Structure 1
Amino acid sequence: MASWTAWLMTVLVGLTTLVLVSWVLDIIKRWRMPPGPFFWPIIGNLFLFGGQFYLTFLELGKKYGDVFSLKLGMRDVVVLNSLEVIREALVKKGNDFAGRTHTATGDLLSEGRKNIAQGDYTPTWKLQRKLFTGAIRAYASGHALEDHVQGALNDVIAEFSSMEGRPVDVEDHIFKLVCNVSCSASFGYRYQMEDPDFQNLMKISRDFFEVGSQGTLADLYPSLSFLPTPTKTTLTNMFAEFVDYFKRQLDQHMQTFDPDNLRDITDHFIKLQKEAEEEGDEDIKSLTDTHIRQTVADILAAALDTMMQAMRWSVLLLAAHPEVQEKLAAELDSVVDRDRQPVLADRASLPYMDATINEILRFGIVAPTAIPHATTVDTTLRGYEIPAGTWIMPNLWNVVRDPEIWGDPDSFRPERFLDDDGKVLSKPSALMPFSAGRRACPGEPMARADVFLLLGGLVQKFKFRLPEGEGPPDLTPDPKGGGLFSIAFPYKVVMTHRK
């Protein structure tokens, strides 16, 4: 018994010593890094956070400035808390800050960082992004994008028409809309609401959002990645279904690929990959089927996360601001005949629509801390040292809600993006809903085109208003978005056809 007690005491003393030594070394390292709040051993600064990281960053910035450091569990984090410091890091020193965090959740969902969103900043990743950008551009240059969006929109317009005049929660229908827009773009077809595959995809996506957005314990404590926690098991099982879905889609596209009949973005990507192989590009050898599968998955994931939430914010904000909605409808009526839906060629003649989309993306910014970056090398920022592998979290929320930049940032006012003649101003550098620099979302042009077509088609057909007697809606973000997402609270709207 005495020997067991002695052994346990030895282990405890050893572990305590290890923790204390590690803590002291972290404190010494912090002297050279940006300032920040006191952190405890093991938990770091986790005690400061209640869920919405970007709001905590906002408060901490008032004390520690535009750039400060934290410990999230065992992870070193540097927060960029102003437009100037974000641009200095992500744009001016883009290569140094172009890495991605390595986490258990991220590695699982990206099949070992094989996608664009989570991939390491390597020659393979640069080629993958180049091919993706080329595929997006080729797909969007013809009528395929418009045809696919309008087909999906017509389905939902018919569903909305059947619900006219009564308060409804449109979330499921918006999910179907953006899912079908994305599936059409990726795979060339769209679902019906009752389709079992669609219902399963919707369930997986929602489960991913609820579970995956919270992360796992191993994300903050990498040494615990071997533990089969309930969250890890749930994510692994859900992801297996997701991967199987994309494997089937990609296999079918490989078998039926016809370079003279490019149906969607996947076909365009395969074509560009084959061309790179024929041209002898050395980096193409490292681009596997997993990379292609993950690239296509990026498109669907972006739609089901970013565009889904952007459209939910759109409908809510227009219903809450009928004067904006009426200006949009009047502009559409002056440019687009009622016998057709808006097309991308109409954008130049619809400046108020463009301004409204900018304001929706600002006010309802979906990813207020973007996808966290990581430093690729030991670097410096504002005179502080930042070691390689440090997590970098740009607080975009503080930029889009900065009163010194916007004047009245908590007001929804599209006119801020128009000049005195009603023309759209050049996009200000402070508007970065898709991040900035080397890791800015390459799908931004397509996402903006999709939102333009969807919002224009809906406003052309329907008037959205809030149910009577319910008072003003809550336009603050729902805490259910977790630390990394800004989503609208659940709401209902009443839809009526425009006369």
Structure 2
Amino acid sequence: MADGSDEDKRVIPGPRPAARLGNLKDIKPKAHLSWTEWCAEYGPVCRVDLGPLGDSVLLGNFDVIRKAFEDNSDAFSARFVLPIAEKDGTRGTMTWENNEVFDKRRELLTTVMKQVDIEKLARNEATAICEVLNKNKDSSSDLVYRLMEEANLNMISTFCFRREQRCPYDDPNFCELKKRIGEMNKKLKNLMAEPANLFPVLWVFYFGFRRARKNLRCLVGKELETHKETLDATSVRDLMDGYLTKAGGIEFPAEECLANIMNLMGATITLKNTFQWLLLLITKHPEVQTKIQDEVTSVFGDDTPTMANVDKLPYTNATIYETLRFACPATQFVPHATQADAKFEGYDIKKDTVVFANIWGPHRDAKYWDEPEKFNPDRFLDSEGKLDLNKESYIPFGLGKRRCPGETYAKNAMFIFLANIYQRYGFQAVAGETLPDVADGVINIGLHNPPPYNLKIVVR
């Protein structure tokens, strides 16, 4: 780490805090905008006073985020456990765990992902989407937005506990699962901004959320009991199988499987958001839609798109990467924490300090991006039209030890969805309606969501 010999640098600069509430009242509902403004004013390492939670450190550009999470991962790779997560119970959830338990949980997930046919899950879901679109092409303008949510939920639940057997979208079991998760998300709007994080005594008033989570736990718990009764130790077809068969020689109590699966199902909301942003942004840029359609048709014709030809669709992939940059579905990482006293960029940072990394800022940094406020998939193509991912300041899946373990899963799903859907369909704005912009995005569960929108389905 950098030596901090300059005494006046030892106090991290930041906005002036108020008594008791610190800077909490100054943080905008879209916190990433506050993060970006403060880092521009006070520097890429910025102090933000969280009131009852104490001081936090905000990392605001690619250089300092990389130095913290990769070069100094031993100090910066712990997880700050939110008080509401503590109240809800963190045991068994990879998101909130640290040290060896986190490492083992991640290794188990990676082992199962290698044994389950992720491409098949995505392809089956894409086929189901196209079937629904074909049946309802003239009847429901909000269908596409809703389908992205249902497809994502079906794919992750199939991976977690359905043993590769997806549910039709109108299946009663699937509808019940969707209802329970919707209830939970409705009761808990913003992980970081929930009042019970600041004043834990308020947890008593979160009865609706606790009841919704209990209902979901019961629903997933039934699947766990079925898995125990019908377990085939020679075959790992989903994550529950992985836990129960001790995949890769990694052993956890079966009860912890339940908590981790519920946590994963919540974490994949980011993928749902990205699906919805993709279709919105492509529709708002008809020239992008035409290029994707032409590329898919030239490579696959009428054949089903597969990952085997992923490299032959550079523009389709570039559109995915540009959407992750431009819309930034995860505007910040789940907060890290220092697990030891650290000296970083000349500043003294105490053990157990909350550390935020602002992804939005680096993705809009004019130092690295030409016209960063413009949606332009071509920025991810080289002069020969090939995919170019050699981009600094691009971190949609994180960096270091806490980098998203589902990165490959997400990329494959997005590619399969786009290629299959745009092979058969296009979309237009509904007459008389204006599609929302990225500036209209809303924060929910700490993620950047597009507001609901309507699209007209156009069969090719």
5+ residue gaps in structure 2? 1-7
- Aligned residue number for residue 67 of structure 2: 88
CA displacement at 1:133 relative to structure 2: 1.3
The aligned residue for residue 316 of structure 1 is 280
Q: Distance in 2 between matches of 1:153 and 1:407?
A: 34
Q: Would the alpha carbon gap of residues 309 and 36 (structure 1) be closer, same or farther in structure 2, given more than 3 Å must change?
A: same
Deviation, structure 1 residue 155: 2.3
AA partner of residue 453 (structure 2)? Y
- Are the structure 2 counterparts of residues 369 and 206 from structure 1 closer, same or farther at C-alpha, using a change threshold of 3 Å? same
Distance change in 2, residues 1:275/1:408 (3 Å): closer
TM-score by length of 2: 0.91
CA deviation after TM superposition for structure 1 residue 441, in Å: 0.9
**Corresponding position of 1:62:** 40
For 1:445 and 1:454, locate their aligned partners in 2 and report how far apart those are by CA, in whole Å: 14
Following superposition, the deviation at residue 275 of structure 1 comes to: 4.9
Whichever residue aligns with residue 106 of structure 1, its letter is A
Letter in 1 for 2:406: G
Residue 300 (structure 1) aligned to one of 240, 265, 281: 265
Indicate which of 335, 341, 349 corresponds to 1:378: 341
Task: Give the letter for the 1:136 counterpart.
Answer: M
- Aligned mates of 2:203, 2:266 — CA distance in 1: 25
- Mapped to 2, the partners of 1:56 and 1:73 lie a distance apart of 16
Kindly indicate whether the alpha-carbon contact (under 8 Å) linking 2:35 and 2:358 is maintained by their aligned counterparts in 1: yes
**Aligned amino acid, residue 234 of structure 1:** G
Give me the whole-angstrom Cα distance separating, in 1, the residues matched to 2:248 and 2:150: 34
SS in 1 for 2:448: coil
Unaligned 5+ residue runs, structure 1? 1-29, 278-283
Give how far 1:108 is off: 4.3
Paired residues for 1:255-404 under 5 Å: 255-271=229-245, 273=246, 275-276=248-249, 284=251, 287-303=252-268, 305-338=269-302, 340-404=303-367
- 1:159 aligned to which of 116, 132, 136: 132
Residue 78 in structure 1 maps to residue 57 in structure 2: yes
Number of residues of Structure 1 aligned to a counterpart in Structure 2 = 447
Partner of 2:3: none
Deviates more, 1:59-68 or 1:190-199: 190-199
2:45 and 2:57 in contact (8 A); partners too: yes
Q: Is the 8 A contact 2:332 2:357 kept in 1?
A: yes
Aligned to 1:103: 82
Aligned-residue offset at 1:246: 2.2
Aligned partners of 1:357 and 1:298: how far apart in 2? 25
1:148 and 2:112 are equivalent in the alignment: no
Q: Once superposed, what is the RMSD of the aligned Cα atoms?
A: 2.1
Q: 2:145 is matched with which residue: 171, 183, 192?
A: 171
Give matches, 1:86-235, under 5 Å.
86-109=65-88, 111-119=89-97, 121-139=98-116, 144-165=117-138, 168-169=141-142, 170-187=144-161, 188=163, 189-215=165-191, 216-221=194-199, 225-230=200-205, 232-235=206-209
State the percentage of identical aligned residues: 26
Alpha-carbon spacing, 1:436–1:149, altered in 2? closer, same or farther (3 Å)? same
Q: Relative to 1, partners in 2 of residues 1:343 and 1:105: Cα closer, same or farther, differing over 3 Å?
A: same
The secondary structure found in structure 1 opposite 2:74 is coil
3-state SS of paired residue (1:362): helix
Distance 1:315 1:210 in 2: 24
Structure number with larger C-alpha Rg = 1
Deviation at 1:132, TM superposition (A): 1.2
CA–CA distance in structure 1, aligned partners of residues 247 and 118 of structure 2: 23
- Higher mean C-alpha displacement, 310-319 vs 57-66: 57-66
Q: CA deviation at 1:113?
A: 4.1
Looking at structure 2, the residues matched to 426 and 49 of structure 1 have their Cα atoms a distance apart, in angstroms, of 33
CA apart distance, 1:472: 5.5
TM-score w.r.t. length of structure 1: 0.84
Give 1:167 deviation, angstroms: 6.2
Moved more, 429-438 or 467-476: 467-476
In the alignment, the residues of structure 2 paired with residue 351 and residue 242 of structure 1 have an alpha-carbon distance, to the nearest angstrom, of: 40
- Name which of structure 1's ranges 390-399 and 241-250 shifts more when overlaid on structure 2: 241-250
| Displacement after TM superposition at 1:250 (Å) | 2.2
Following superposition, the deviation at residue 269 of structure 1 comes to 4.5
* CA spacing shift, 1:212–1:432, aligned 2, 3 Å: same
